[in-house]
A and B are shown apart, each in its own frame.
Chain A
Amino acid sequence: MSFNARSAWSIYHRELWRFLRTAFQSVLAPVLTTALYILVFGSAIGDRMPEINAVDYGAFIIPGLLMLTLLGETTSNSSFGIYMPRFTGTIYELLSAPVGVAETLVGFVGAAATKSLILAAIILLTARIFIDYSIAHPFLAFIFILLVAAAFSLFGFILGIWADSFEKLGIIPMLILTPLTFLGGTFYSIADLPEPWNSVALLNPIVYLVSGLRWTFYGSADVSIWVSLGITLAFLILCVAVIGYIFKTGWRLRD
């Protein structure tokens, strides 16, 4: 198994260049949306809400809102990154290059994850304007965001290969990710849900992501940080396996 670092770097570099070319639009919309949520739910309504686990309501919702944006943006960025070349035909160059699954993933998924990290940083800085919050475990928070960004970049990549229309490309984030994130404890602690909803909520994988990030911020959450990390890693590995299989069979890439 060989790895061509130059090829991978070229892909990564170009994907980021494309992102920066339209950076303003790519960043403005999600940052604005998140800022509005924070403003409305955090600043305006938050003052009338009780603390949750000794955390101000406004601060409580920040990790969840960050996760909401992160999942949606990462998935759609990454899926577009591979869907567009398929759609326009420019993928011929990638397929004819001496480039395997490893270089492709490092290039495309690495770039998508990098974009997400940039976005996360901007959102967290923006949030500081409205809400006073602090991060208890910044290093773990960084690792966790990185893992989630990588995992959902991979997931988006699979989506971008699976989709054969723009509609399909949009449907998973719209129909699955957003509702699951809303129900995943972004605005409340699932511990406050009555049974059986509490147990049902634990079937929602997004709960573990929101909860994991919240733990790195405030040192307490609905589920243990290690469970959250474990589930994120497992999801990441599953995605890598699926992509490896896709490249091996050429599914949707080669006729």
Chain B
Amino acid sequence: MSEPILELSGLTKQFGGGVKALDDVDLTINRGEIFALLGPNGAGKTTLIGAVCGLVRPTGGTIRAFGEDLQGNWRQARARIGLVPQEISTDMFEPVLHAVSYSRGLFGLAPNPARIEEILRSLSLWDKRDARIMELSGGMKRRVLIAKAMAHEPDLLFLDEPTAGVDVELRKDMWHQIDAMRARGVTVILTTHYIEEAEEMADRVGIIRGGKILMVDQKDAMMARLGRTEAHIALAQPLDTLPPAIAAFSVELEEGGRSICYRGGDGTGKGREEVADLTKALIASGIDYIGIDVRESSLEDIFVSLLGEEEEQAA
């Protein structure tokens, strides 16, 4: 069912200075999915995107796009790939409409004012079409770059930190945009430092660090596998020991017996049910409590703990 649109195998990039920005990366992206590439600064995300988009020359490995080797077929492939770079870089003196129309022509497509208008409207830029890009706010500039990347109607779109420096409302707006792209069948690969964004948007998540892919999985599977529920139940009276009916849960006393901490579940909601059972058991055992705080671990927690483990192993 899932048809690969991009296949990286053994992709390696060693920069002139000796930095290995990509180290034997194997990664397959499927048609129509939204893939989030997460990793700390300097992990190699931008380099990976650059290698596919022709900005960086890989020193090893192969890239297949749309089922064909990129090296021999770069023209056809690039015509179908769009890129929104991490840095805002565009001719600041150019009016918006002019810049976006140029991008379409550069990629070899005939002018299509109606399509350009549609793109600009969808990004709320139509009213600004005659403004010079320097007159726009940072968030709008970024949307111009997105419009430029969409102008040639790519099948595969790279968004390198599309929401960096974008306010909450606009970020939500961007998520809708990405949803709309998905609806049109565009495959999207995005990088972000806002993990909740990946949690919200992505079908699959890849975690990269030091040029190596640490983990690639369906987001839901990853969260189910690594997710946890954590609950803190503040007690009315401190306890010295837990009665057996309570100790049967994965709990421990904390804060000198004034609180019970539960850690368990698997990210599918099982933990919340257990917490509910736990409260019933507390009542049955005659233990009174004055407050409950339940938290599902986010992708961010998973991300942080995964990188933490990695660090420990390396040490």
Contacts and interface: CB of A to CB of B under 8 A. Distances in A.
A11 B105 CA distance: 8
Contacts of B93: 21
Contacts of B83: 92-93, 96
A94 B85 contact: no
Given A21-B93, A88-B89, A89-B85, A96 B54 contact: yes
B9 interface: no
A6 interface: yes
B15 A255 contact: yes
B56 A254 contact: yes
A53 interface: no
Given A2-B75, A14-B102, A254-B55, A89 B87 contact: yes
B106 A254 contact: no
A92 B87 CA distance: 10
Contacts of B89: 88-90, 92
Given A92-B83, A92-B89, A97-B78, A6 B54 contact: no
Contact of A7 (B56, B87, B108): B108
Q: Interface of chain A, helix or strand or loop or mixed?
A: helix
Contacts, number: 73
Nearest to A6: B108
A92 B110 CA distance: 21
B55 A96 contact: yes
Interface string A5-25: 011011101100110010000
A90 B107 contact: no
Contacts of B29: none
Contacts of A179: none
Contacts of B110: 6
Contacts of A21: 93
Interface string A222-242: 000000000000000000000
B50 A98 contact: no
B105 A7 contact: yes
B90 interface: yes
B79 to A, nearest CB: 4
Interface of B: 15-16, 50, 53-57, 74-76, 78-79, 81, 83, 85, 87, 89-91, 93, 98, 102-103, 105-110, 148
16 contacts: A6-B105, A7-B105, A7-B108, A10-B105, A11-B106, A18-B91, A89-B89, A90-B90, A92-B55, A92-B83, A96-B53, A97-B78, A254-B54, A254-B55, A254-B57, A255-B15
Given A94-B106, A98-B76, A100-B75, 8 more contacts: A6-B108, A88-B89, A88-B91, A92-B83, A92-B85, A96-B55, A250-B57, A254-B54
